[in-house]
Amino acid sequence: MKTYTLSIIGSIVSLAIGGVLLYGLVPITLTFLTYIAVAILAVVAYFIEKGYAKAVKVGAILAIISIIISASSPAHDKALLMFGSNKMITILDVLMVLGFYAFPAIYLFAFLINGIKKRNASIRY
């Protein structure tokens, strides 16, 4: 459970900091949606820590959605192309990669490994 929760917390922190730094630079609706996502992730992490197996599956679905949405976002593509152009863009790009790609990928990796372990444990030789 710890890997799941820690990767969600990593995304929460990255998205929350990014939301603060982007406040006033992007439409307020995007900032609002960022904090709704942060709240949803916090709730999922809470239920994972309480031992709800369905919350782990919801987390995996959210991780996949996060990666797909970010990868298909023209704004995110444009921002990544500007990496290194100035300090603020670079910080925001690092937070974006952590929050939308790295931590969700860690979550998915742990989810897949745990699924493989459970499958192998249930096979009788």
Give the count of domains, the chain: 1
**Average pLDDT of the chain, as a whole number:** 91
Reported as type and span, the H/E element at residue 11 is helix 2-22
Owning domain of residue 82: 2-122
Helix 74-81 × helix 87-97 angle, to 10°: 130
In tens, the pLDDT along 29-87 reads: 989 999 999 999 999 999 999 999 999 999 999 999 999 999 998 888 888 888 889 99
